């Protein structure tokens, strides 16, 4: 969850603490101007690229996104959509999709797609704790997510007005997508805010420090010198967030 509280051994409720949430692996790459796989990465005026990363299943709501996409194309006929991932709804979604939608299938490394995107969308019906928006924000890309537990927590408060939509509402989703694709300065600003949020709140090292602080409080001890010199877990030893 995005916020948590605990009860101290003295029986006095402590101050609320920001939740320890998931961490992204190391420092995510920032924005850059190159194009990546089939995308512009800079809001190319007539052909902006929207990317949706996730398993192709009912939970992730790609069918809602495809319904919204019809309205997006009505305003921005050159817009492109890429669905990154595979899953049980692949065939049905391909039947529903117009020619401007590309399916990648399973992808080992999704970061190039985030970096190629002008906007990343997560239209989930429900979530546990969504990592895709954190990864996208870490790459400096703005996101649109649905207002469901596990997704809304990924957004810093300043982004909610532009980036949070009701679940299963293709009209609202299309409106948010169209508004952001039509406003490059706003996308850049939101992406920068989101990246700062991820680096300060969701980097795996920060998350590890938060968890350590919780255990210290539960054990009733102060930080030690060994805590200060502890090394972060090497990237190669961490479980892939896409497994």
Query: Alpha-carbon distance 208 to 227, whole Å?
Result: 11
Nearest to 1 by CA among 128, 121, 126: 128
Same domain (yes/no): 58, 172 = yes
CATH of the domain at 177: 3.40.50.2000
**Helical pair 170-181 and 62-75, crossing angle rounded to 10 deg:** 50
CB contact at 8 A, 35 and 26: no
Same domain (yes/no): 195, 210 = no
**Structural domain includes residue 242:** no
Q: Which domain holds residue 54?
A: 49-201
Same domain (yes/no): 153, 195 = yes
Same domain (yes/no): 151, 186 = yes
Only one residue has tokens 């009505």, namely 74
Same domain (yes/no): 148, 225 = no
Same domain (yes/no): 69, 174 = yes
| pLDDT score of 220 | 74
Same domain (yes/no): 130, 227 = no
**Structural domain includes residue 102:** yes
Same domain (yes/no): 212, 133 = no
Same domain (yes/no): 118, 222 = no
Total domains in the chain come to 2
- What is the pTM assigned to this prediction? 0.70
- What DSSP string runs through 118-133? SEEEE--S--SS--HH
CB contact at 8 A, 180 and 186: yes
| pLDDT score of 192 | 95
Same domain (yes/no): 217, 170 = no
Same domain (yes/no): 89, 70 = yes
Same domain (yes/no): 188, 219 = no
Q: With a cut of 70, which residues of the chain have pLDDT below it?
A: 1-45, 201-216, 221-243
């Amino acid at each position: 969850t995005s916020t948590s509280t605990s009860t101290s051994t003295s029986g006095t409720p402590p101050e609320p603490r920001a939740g320890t949430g998931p961490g992204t692996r190391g420092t995510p790459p920032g924005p850059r101007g190159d194009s990546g796989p089939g995308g512009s990465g800079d809001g190319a005026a007539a052909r902006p690229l929207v990317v949706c990363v996730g398993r192709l299943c009912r939970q992730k709501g790609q069918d809602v996104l495809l319904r919204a996409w019809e309205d997006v194309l009505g305003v921005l006929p050159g817009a492109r959509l890429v669905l990154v991932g595979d899953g049980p709804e692949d065939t049905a979604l391909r039947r529903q999709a117009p020619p401007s939608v590309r399916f990648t299938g399973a992808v080992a490394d999704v970061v190039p797609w985030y970096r190629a995107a002008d906007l990343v969308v997560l239209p989930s019906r429900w979530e546990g704790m969504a990592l895709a928006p954190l990864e996208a924000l870490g790459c400096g890309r703005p996101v649109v997510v649905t207002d469901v537990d596990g997704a809304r927590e990924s957004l810093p408060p300043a982004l909610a007005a532009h980036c949070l939509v009701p679940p299963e509402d293709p009209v609202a989703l299309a409106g948010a997508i169209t508004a952001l694709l039509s406003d490059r300065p706003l996308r850049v600003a939101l992406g920068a805010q989101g990246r700062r949020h991820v680096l300060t709140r969701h980097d795996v090292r920060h998350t590890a420090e938060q968890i350590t602080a919780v255990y210290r409080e539960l054990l009733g001890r102060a930080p030690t010198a060994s805590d200060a010199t502890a090394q972060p877990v090497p990237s190669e030893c961490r479980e892939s967030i896409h497994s």
